[in-house]
Chains A and B, each alone.
Chain A
Amino acid sequence: MDQRNFTFMFYGFAAAWAILALYVVSLVSRGRKLQDQLETLKRTLAQEKP
């Protein structure tokens, strides 16, 4: 029981940190995509200026 108990405790902590890490990774990747979109739009609008 003790060994299994300890293993599942590890799973619990690992799950908590993994979810946080996944969220941070998704946050960073979405942030990059948004910055790219913004740059592209700004460039397009600047080129279209008469």
Chain B
Amino acid sequence: MNDKLLLALGTASALFLVRNLYTMFLVLPDEAAQGAIYRIMFFHIPSWFTCFSCFFISGVISAYAIAKRNFKADSWSVSITEVGLAFTMIGLATGMIWAKVIWGIWWTWDPRLTWAFITALVYGGYLMMRNMIDDPSERLRLTGVLNVFAFVSVAITYKAIDWWRTQHPGPVLSFRTGGGNIDPAIESMIYQNWLALLMLAIVLVGLRFRQEETKREIEGLRRLAYAR
């Protein structure tokens, strides 16, 4: 990704986020049951959507990287996963803060929360595992397989609120319930902020990808230095 594209996308996402913040705080009213705290959902839900999107795309690219032994695809996949993990942390942190007010507790081992935590651990493990394997081909193959299969935990996290009805609220968005569970203006704001966060995620992935390419260049030069 070239500099101009990243700069344009970064600026667009920043402007979009500022406009969204204006709408969240100054246009949309407090929610009847939850009051002001419901606004955390404008970051909580889009952050999870962003990380799920990242993990899905990263898994697909990892499968391609393994099949074609493509190191560039491997670099894309690790960059996307790392950015996805940052959004996972936002999802977890904002969820805990919301829970403290609404449930009275920071955390509970409810299936959705537990699987979200497992997802964060699995992808954190994937990133750590990459640093433990020196050989690039082995790294591509082994961590790639982990990245593909790690998506199972994302799928379980996503479906947990359908399969196990416990502490975490059930689905509210129209595409899952058929509508009627959420104010259309609030739902629209969730999607708009998801779009803004996705744009931001693309910029971060672009920057992270460059680092991964620099890392590969360094590895190549080191091998050259040792060979002399």
Contact = CB atoms under 8 A, between A and B. Distances in A.
Contacts of A4: 101
Interface residues of B, number: 34
B80 to A, nearest CB: 14
B225 A45 contact: yes
Contacts, number: 85
Nearest to A42: B221
B214 A35 contact: yes
B93 A8 contact: no
Taking chain A's interface residues, is the majority helix, strand, or loop, or is none over half, making it mixed? helix
A34 B202 CA distance: 21
Interface in A1-50: 1-2, 4-6, 8-9, 11-13, 15-16, 19-20, 23-24, 27, 30-31, 34-35, 37-38, 41-42, 44-45, 48
Interface of A: 1-2, 4-6, 8-9, 11-13, 15-16, 19-20, 23-24, 27, 30-31, 34-35, 37-38, 41-42, 44-45, 48
